[in-house]
């Protein structure tokens, strides 16, 4: 069934409103993203053996646990994290997760914007 002009205008307006809302949301996400200080990797806790000859760790009483940061970029490399650094690294790892979530959201919003543009193009009659 063919839509009349009012219906078309109403649909186009609805799509434009949605589009404006999405542009705003992308803007908010981008400024949130700019605040992040991401560390790409994860925090692990690990028990260690020190290597001294007569130490208790030789009998299975290991030292620690100590905190380590494992970078996603250099796999297998563990970086020791002191208690003073722990909070900053935890925040960095959390920011990295947040950044990936924001990037996925921005991508989804951008895909929807593209759809909207196509929908508007099909609503406007060619003749
Ligand atoms: Zn030891």
Residue 40 lies in a domain: yes
Per-residue confidence (pLDDT) for residue 127, from 0 to 100: 65
Query: What mean pLDDT do residues 11-24 have?
Result: 97
Residue 70 lies in a domain: no
Residue 75 lies in a domain: no
Per-residue confidence (pLDDT) for residue 77, from 0 to 100: 83
In whole angstroms, give the CA distance from residue 87 to residue 103. Answer: 24
Residue 72 C-alpha to ligand 1 middle, in angstroms? 29
- The helix-helix angle for 83-123 and 5-35 (nearest 10°) equals 160
Q: pLDDT (tens digit, 9 = 90+) per residue, 61-118? A: 999 999 999 998 877 788 999 999 999 999 999 999 999 999 999 999 999 999 999 9
Residue 48 C-alpha to ligand 1 middle, in angstroms? 8
Residue 90 C-alpha to ligand 1 middle, in angstroms? 27
Residue 115 lies in a domain: yes
In the chain, how many domains are there?
1
Full residue range of the structural domain in which residue 40 is found: 5-44+83-123
Residue 55 lies in a domain: no
Q: pLDDT (tens digit, 9 = 90+) per residue, 43-77? A: 999 999 998 999 999 999 999 999 999 998 877 78
Residue 60 lies in a domain: no
Residue 106 C-alpha to ligand 1 middle, in angstroms? 49
Q: Tell me the pTM.
A: 0.79
Per-residue confidence (pLDDT) for residue 1, from 0 to 100: 60
Contacts of 25 (CB under 8 A, 6+ apart): 109
């Amino acid at each position: 069934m063919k839509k009349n002009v009012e219906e078309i205008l109403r649909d186009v307006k609805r799509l434009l409103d949605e589009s404006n809302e999405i542009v705003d949301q992308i803007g908010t996400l981008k400024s949130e993203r700019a605040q992040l200080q991401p560390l790409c990797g994860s925090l692990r806790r690990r028990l260690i053996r020190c290597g001294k000859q007569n130490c208790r760790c030789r009998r299975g009483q290991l030292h620690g646990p100590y905190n380590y940061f494992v970078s996603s970029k250099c796999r297998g490399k563990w970086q020791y994290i002191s208690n003073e650094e722990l909070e900053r690294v935890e925040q960095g790892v959390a920011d990295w997760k947040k950044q990936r979530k924001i990037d996925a959201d921005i991508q989804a919003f951008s895909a929807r914007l593209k759809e909207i543009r196509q929908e508007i193009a099909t609503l406007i009659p060619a003749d």
